[in-house]
Amino acid sequence: MSIQLINVVYHRNTSITILLGAMVMLVLFSSCSGRKKDLGAAITERDSLPMMDTRGVTTLISDSGITRYRINAEEWLVFDRKNPPYWAFEKGIYLENFDSLFQVEASIKADTAYFFNKEELWKLMGNVDIKNLKGEHFNTELLYWDQKKQKVYSDRFIRIEQPDRIITGRGFESNQQMTIYTIRQPEGIFYIDEETAAVDSLKTDTIN
């Protein structure tokens, strides 16, 4: 296909405008038979590429005008054309959750994380380590954090280290502060303090 340049002179500015418009059309549509595939490929490529690629990220995120989260990440990719759109932190993430007094309610580390912004859902993967306000540590390989429902959950193995004991199990659900939680399938309780373990064992024997 060829575009013919038409130069209609009403006055100088109009002539230049029409000429520039025709030149743009020429660049976009010349040799259409050979370029339609290229245009389609370009659109497909754009859909698969991140809209934003940021390195060495430290940022604060607010909720209803109040600062609630701080994110540290080596790489932050934003895919706005994906369905659904999401943020990707594929080189690790450290995230802190604040209360209204800027006190850290929970901190989260993970090898990989994805945030689906429309759903307000985090997917945390690989060596997920969480610390709550009580000083308890949670370790698992996969964890979901639903900000809309204000809950955290997983169907994988989880290890919870409390000040005096370690609890393990499979399947987990909690509030987003990680202070009220349930293990669906508890597998074991291991006391850190030997004296506490001995007392508990004595109580068990007495009951039996």
Distance (Å, rounded) from C-alpha 105 to C-alpha 95?
A: 11
Among 163, 177, 88, residue whose Cα is nearest residue 130: 177
pLDDT at residue 161 tops 50: yes
So where are the chain's domains? 12-47, 50-207
State the pLDDT at residue 38: 56
pLDDT at 60: 87
Q: Is the sign of the CA dihedral 86, 87, 91, 93 positive or negative?
A: negative
DSSP for 68-88 reads EEEEEEEEEEEESSSSS-EEE
Which tens digits make up the pLDDT trace of 23-72?
Answer: 333 334 444 445 555 555 555 566 678 888 889 989 888 877 778 889 99
Euclidean distance between CA atoms 30 and 24, whole angstroms: 10
- Which residues, 6+ apart, have CB-to-CB distance to 96 below 8 Å? 69, 70, 104, 106, 107, 108
Per-residue pLDDT of 184-205, as tens digits, reads 999 999 997 755 545 454 443 4
The verdict on pTM exceeding 0.75 is no
Which alpha helices (DSSP H) does the chain contain, by range?
A: 12-29, 32-48, 194-207
Q: Which CATH architecture has domain 50-207?
A: Sandwich (2.60)
Q: Could you tell me which of 86, 108, 114 has the C-alpha nearest to residue 96?
A: 108
For residue 93 the two structure tokens come to 């993430």
